């Protein structure tokens, strides 16, 4: 089958423009994924650069080669910027423009040497591709399957760009390597026509997977305190108890004392601040995923330890919260928490919560601001 280079080149330019437009459109639909705008710009820039460079190739236009490759290199800068933005990293360092500046400065001296131009562009784009792959792999903020595949594609792009320098540095001729060194060859255009939509599809998949994961995580996080909500707590607690295999598991149920009076006296904004403060205290003392907000001013924790150790943690939480609350509301304020503790080596999460809840009621009856075990004995005051 004979492939017409001119037709393939036109097809690639149009394809890249369409894909860039689709990525930008996807960004307008979901502006939370700002990386889509940068990636869309990258596709539009590479299409523009490819078109400009090819328009000037027959005449060897100085300006067309200079500007076309500047657009092409800027597309890689936008690609790298999109990867940083996707990972939630702020800004793009000025050093990212080094390749563009280097090409612009060197071009007057290498204009007559196609092999030098090829080496400079291929190495620069290869470095940009590797930086983009490294960014997605090293600084991934979410465990996305599509992101790992994007890393593979970007590494492949780096290899492709690096291979293009072969004819310029070796006297040995390899037909495909030689063909890939020329942007207007059939092989080069065919590779781009196949590779480009694959990369665009992966970027869209990353955005979709990221949004879906964000919704899933939001459904498991209490929006006020930022700690796991009841649903997440029950899920994490069930996984923990199932993995203990007969080892002791303890449960703490923690309820802020006289919380209604705090809301009535200081206002709901202060009440929300107190709840947030308590979530922070729990985060400092308890293992991740072991605790959560059950609702209102009630919290709970499931811990892989015996009752004595769990009660000691409950006491540490009670003591710090009392001191931290006074620092927020004033020394005369009563900001305390009562804690009920239970333990078992074979009970379900529901049974542990029930027993700890009974102990919590005993703590309330005994004056609040204490930790009480499910056996009814007062652990601390």
CATH assignment at residue 343: 3.30.70.270
pLDDT band for position 1 (cuts 50, 70, 90): very low
pLDDT at 158: 93
pLDDT at 376: 42
**Euclidean distance between CA atoms 173 and 178, whole angstroms:** 7
Least Cα distance to 44 among 70, 18, 64 occurs for: 18
Do 173 and 275 belong together in one domain?
Answer: no
Q: Examine residue 225 and state whether it is found in any structural domain, yes or no.
A: no
- At residue 223, does pLDDT exceed 80? yes
Residue that wins the pLDDT comparison between 90 and 296: 296
pLDDT at 168: 56
Do 251 and 317 belong together in one domain?
Answer: yes
Q: How far is CA 374 from CA 1, 303, 315, 377, in A?
A: 80, 15, 15, 8
136-157: pLDDT as tens digits: 999 988 889 999 999 999 999 9
Range of the domain at 43: 5-218
Do 160 and 251 belong together in one domain?
Answer: no
User: What domain count does the chain have?
Assistant: 2
Residue that wins the pLDDT comparison between 360 and 117: 360
308-328: pLDDT as tens digits: 999 999 999 999 999 888 877
Do 206 and 263 belong together in one domain?
Answer: no
Q: Examine residue 129 and state whether it is found in any structural domain, yes or no.
A: yes
Residue that wins the pLDDT comparison between 190 and 283: 283
102-131: pLDDT as tens digits: 999 999 998 888 778 888 988 999 999 999
Do 113 and 254 belong together in one domain?
Answer: no
Q: Where a domain ends, among 151, 184, 218?
A: 218
Q: How many CA atoms lie within 13 A of 55 on its CB side?
A: 13
Q: Where a domain ends, among 160, 190, 218?
A: 218
Q: Examine residue 93 and state whether it is found in any structural domain, yes or no.
A: yes
pLDDT at 360: 95
Do 93 and 131 belong together in one domain?
Answer: yes
Distance of CA 337 to the CA centre of its chain: 35
pLDDT band for position 182 (cuts 50, 70, 90): low
Do 166 and 281 belong together in one domain?
Answer: no
pLDDT band for position 357 (cuts 50, 70, 90): very high
Residue that wins the pLDDT comparison between 261 and 60: 261
pLDDT at 377: 38
Q: Where are the alpha helices (DSSP H) in the chain?
A: 5-29, 35-55, 62-86, 98-110, 114-138, 145-163, 166-169, 175-180, 186-218, 230-244, 259-266, 268-285, 307-329, 349-365
333-355: pLDDT as tens digits: 788 999 999 999 888 999 999 99
Contact 234, 293 (CB under 8 A): no
Q: Examine residue 224 and state whether it is found in any structural domain, yes or no.
A: no
The C-alpha R_g of the chain, in whole angstroms, comes to 31
Do 103 and 195 belong together in one domain?
Answer: yes
Distance of CA 248 to the CA centre of its chain: 35
pLDDT at 59: 58
Q: Examine residue 240 and state whether it is found in any structural domain, yes or no.
A: yes
Q: Where a domain ends, among 218, 244, 267?
A: 218
Q: Examine residue 17 and state whether it is found in any structural domain, yes or no.
A: yes
Do 210 and 256 belong together in one domain?
Answer: no
Go through 306-333 and write b for each residue having 16 or more CB atoms within 10 A of its CB, e for each that does not. ebeebbebbbebbbbbbebbeeebeeeb
Do 265 and 185 belong together in one domain?
Answer: no
pLDDT at 188: 65
Q: Examine residue 188 and state whether it is found in any structural domain, yes or no.
A: yes
Average pLDDT over residues 356-377: 87
Q: Examine residue 167 and state whether it is found in any structural domain, yes or no.
A: yes
pLDDT at 185: 58
Q: How far is CA 93 from CA 70, 80, 228, in A?
A: 18, 11, 35
175: its two tokens: 């037909």
pLDDT at 10: 80
Do 40 and 60 belong together in one domain?
Answer: yes
- At residue 378, does pLDDT exceed 50? no
Do 192 and 317 belong together in one domain?
Answer: no
């Amino acid at each position: 089958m004979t492939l017409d280079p001119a037709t393939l080149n036109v097809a690639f330019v149009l394809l890249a423009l369409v894909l860039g437009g689709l990525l930008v459109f996807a960004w307008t639909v979901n502006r939370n994924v700002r990386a889509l705008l940068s990636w869309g710009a990258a596709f539009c820039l590479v299409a523009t650069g490819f078109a400009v460079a090819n328009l000037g190739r027959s005449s060897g236009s100085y300006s067309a080669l200079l500007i076309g490759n500047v657009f092409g290199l800027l597309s890689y800068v936008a690609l790298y910027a999109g990867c940083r933005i996707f990972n939630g990293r702020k800004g793009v360092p000025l050093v990212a423009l080094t390749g563009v500046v280097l090409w612009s400065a060197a071009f007057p001296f290498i204009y007559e040497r196609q092999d030098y131009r090829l080496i400079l562009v291929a190495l620069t784009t290869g470095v940009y591709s590797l930086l983009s792959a490294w960014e997605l792999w090293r600084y991934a903020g979410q465990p996305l399957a599509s992101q790992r595949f994007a890393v593979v594609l970007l590494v492949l792009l780096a290899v492709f760009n690096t291979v293009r320098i072969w004819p310029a540095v070796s006297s040995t001729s390899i037909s495909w390597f030689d063909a890939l060194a020329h942007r207007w060859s059939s092989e080069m255009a065919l590779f781009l026509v196949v590779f480009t939509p694959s990369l665009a599809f992966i970027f869209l998949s990353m955005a979709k997977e990221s949004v879906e994961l964000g919704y899933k995580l939001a459904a498991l996080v209490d929006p006020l305190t930022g700690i796991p909500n009841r649903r997440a707590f029950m899920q994490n607690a069930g996984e923990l108890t199932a993995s203990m295999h007969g080892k002791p598991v303890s449960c703490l149920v923690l309820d802020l004392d006289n919380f209604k009076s705090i809301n009535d006296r200081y206002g709901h904004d202060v009440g929300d601040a107190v709840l947030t403060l308590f979530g922070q205290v729990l985060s400092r003392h308890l293992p991740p995923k072991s605790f959560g907000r059950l609702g209102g001013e009630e919290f709970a924790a499931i811990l892989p330890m015996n009752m004595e150790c769990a009660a000691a943690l409950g006491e540490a939480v009670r003591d710090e919260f009392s001191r931290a609350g006074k620092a927020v509301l004033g020394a005369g304020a009563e900001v305390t928490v009562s804690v009920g503790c239970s333990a078992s080596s074979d009970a379900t999460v529901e049974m542990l919560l029930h027993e700890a809840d009974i102990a919590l009621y005993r703590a309330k009856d005994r004056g609040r601001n204490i930790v009480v075990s499910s056996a009814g004995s007062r652990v601390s005051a």
